[in-house]
Amino acid sequence: MGNPKVTPLVEQLHAFGFLVSQGRGRQSFEQGVLTGGKKYLAGTLLGIITAALTASAAALGANTGNGTFGTITPQAAPATIPGAYALVMTDATHFTVTAPDGATATGTTGVAFSALGIGFTLTAGGTAFVANDGFTFTVTATPGNPTLTSAANAGNTGNGTVGSTSVAGYAAQVGVYMVEFDDATHYVVTAPNGQEVGHGTTGVAFKAGGLSFTITAGGTAFVAGDSFAVTVAAGSGKLTAWDPANVDGSQVVAGILGMTKDVTNADTNAAYVARLAEVNQAELIFPTGANAAVIAAGVAGLRAIGIIPR
């Protein structure tokens, strides 16, 4: 008779099929609203849109001065994170930077780097860098804006140097900032948590505590006690596909989509694994074209929230 012909069975992605173990009851799960205008497969890594994207100012009471606010820019992600950023050379001219939260970005010597909330230019020296040469960037939390310093790692082969550094600043706090004038031209800014974040002057750009703006004096001068409330609105809080290149808060891993969902035409509710779980990494969906570094960042993000890929 011969051997019978057998058609192999190929397991398709199905609801929560990536789960290896979970917490008791529903400890591992959360519900959210999924957005993005596309179809997402079960196992897709998710982020949450949390960036504060809008801000507006309003006078408190009847101010004497009639000066005005220009555009107010709240610092959205990626904001500068206090802690150590690690730069590692992948060859003589290319490097990867890893932020304290595990997010990564790549750069090239001689080209200005601006990502993950920090900025700098790495200039090659007379002796070329080799793979695994590196630098440590240390961000220190200080009132108003964080500070950034850099140091070459001991044992580097290359002798290139880091030029001047910059920071994007802290993420804006959701809530109401207070701006109160001390006299006709000087004011103090207080964050929603009550912390004083900086002093400013009319006509001079202000940047501290997650906000950037300029107050222009009017025909009637401000007086001590004139004040404004600057309200920073929260992001939508909706779920979308995680990607370390995103800048709206969803570059931080929030969980794993449990069931395939199509939101091409409308947002929809979705259940996702948020914590206390082991998962099969082979069944997870990373961003299209994800390389080893992006996958490693995704895995690190999952581990940071208590989800262990196997």
CATH number, residue 247:
2.40.300.10
- 202: in domain: yes
pLDDT for the residue 51:
64
Verify that 220 and 290 share a domain, yes or no.
no
Give yes or no: residues 117 and 262 share one domain. Answer: no
Same domain, 242 and 225: no
Within a domain: 2? no
Burial grade of 164 (CB within 10 A; 0-12, 13-18, 19 or more): exposed
User: Which residue, of 214, 232, 250, is where some domain finishes?
Assistant: 232
Q: Does some domain include residue 92?
A: yes
Q: Is 34 a member of any domain?
A: yes
Cβ neighbours of residue 75 closer than 8 Å, sequence gap 6 or more? 52, 168, 169, 170, 171, 172, 210, 211, 212
Query: Cα 65 from chain centroid?
Result: 38
In a domain? residue 93: yes
Question: How many separate domains does the chain show?
Answer: 3
For residue 53, the model assigns a pLDDT of 58
Position 172 scores a pLDDT of 84
Distances (CA, A) of 175 to 57, 72, 144, 208: 12, 14, 17, 15
Task: Note whether residue 11 is domain-resident.
Answer: no
Residue 228 near residue 177, CB atoms below 8 Å? no
Q: With the CA atoms of 267, 271, 275 and 280 taken in that order, what torsion angle do they form, in degrees rounded to the nearest 10?
A: -100
Instruction: List the structure tokens of 290.
Output: 């994800």
How many other CB atoms sit within 10 Å of the CB of residue 244? 26
Torsions phi, psi for 40 (to 5 deg): -115, 135
Backbone angles phi, psi at 277, to 5 degrees: -155, 155
CA distance 45 to 242: 5
34 and 140 co-located in one domain: no
DSSP secondary structure letters along the chain: --PPP-PPP-PPP-TTTTEEEE-STTTTEEEEEE-SSSEE-TTBEEEE-----EEEEEE-S--S---EE---EE--SSPP-SEEEEEEESSSSEEEEE-TTS-EEEEETTS-EEETTEEE-EE--SS---TT-EEEEEEE--SSS-EEEEEEPTT-S---EE---EE--PPPPSEEEEEEESSSSEEEEE-TTS-EEEEEETTS-EEETTEEE-EEP-SS---TT-EEEEEEEP----EEE--TT--SSTTSEEEEE-S-EE-SSS-EEEEEE-SSEEE-GGG-BPPTT--HHHHHHHHHHHHHTTEEE-
Instruction: Mark whether 63 and 209 lie in a shared domain.
Output: yes
> Distance between CA 204 and CA 202 in Å, rounded?
5
Q: Are 96 and 162 within one domain?
A: yes
Q: Is 304 helix (H, G, I), strand (E, B) or coil?
A: helix
- Retrieve residue 304's tokens: 């940071």
Which two tokens mark 221?
């001068």
Domain boundary among 137, 167, 197: 167
**Facing residues of 158 across strands?**
none
pLDDT for the residue 78: 65
34 and 147 part of one domain: no
Q: Is position 13 within any domain?
A: no
Give the tokens for residue 223. 């007086």
Structure confidence at residue 249 (pLDDT): 81
Q: What is the pLDDT along the chain (310 residues), one digit of tens a residue?
A: 567 777 665 566 789 999 999 999 999 999 999 999 999 999 999 999 876 557 889 998 899 999 999 999 888 666 898 999 999 999 999 999 999 888 889 999 999 999 889 999 999 999 999 999 999 999 998 888 899 999 999 999 999 999 999 999 988 888 899 999 999 999 999 999 899 999 999 999 999 998 999 999 999 999 999 999 999 887 788 999 999 988 778 888 999 999 999 999 999 999 999 999 999 999 999 999 899 999 999 999 999 999 999 9
Q: Which amino acid is at 205?
A: A
Can you read off the two tokens belonging to residue 149? 């310093």
Q: Token digits for 153? A: 């790692």
My answer on whether 93 and 162 are in the same domain is: yes
End-of-domain residue from the set 217, 232, 247: 232
Residues 63 and 178 in one domain: yes
Residues 60 and 199 in one domain: yes
pLDDT at 18: 96
Q: What is the pLDDT of residue 220?
A: 97
The answer to whether residue 10 is domain-embedded is no
Q: Which domain holds residue 204?
A: 56-76+173-232
Q: 69 pairs with which residues across the strands?
A: 215
Looking at the fold, whether 193 and 70 belong to one and the same domain comes out as yes
For residues 259 and 294, membership in a common domain is answered with: yes
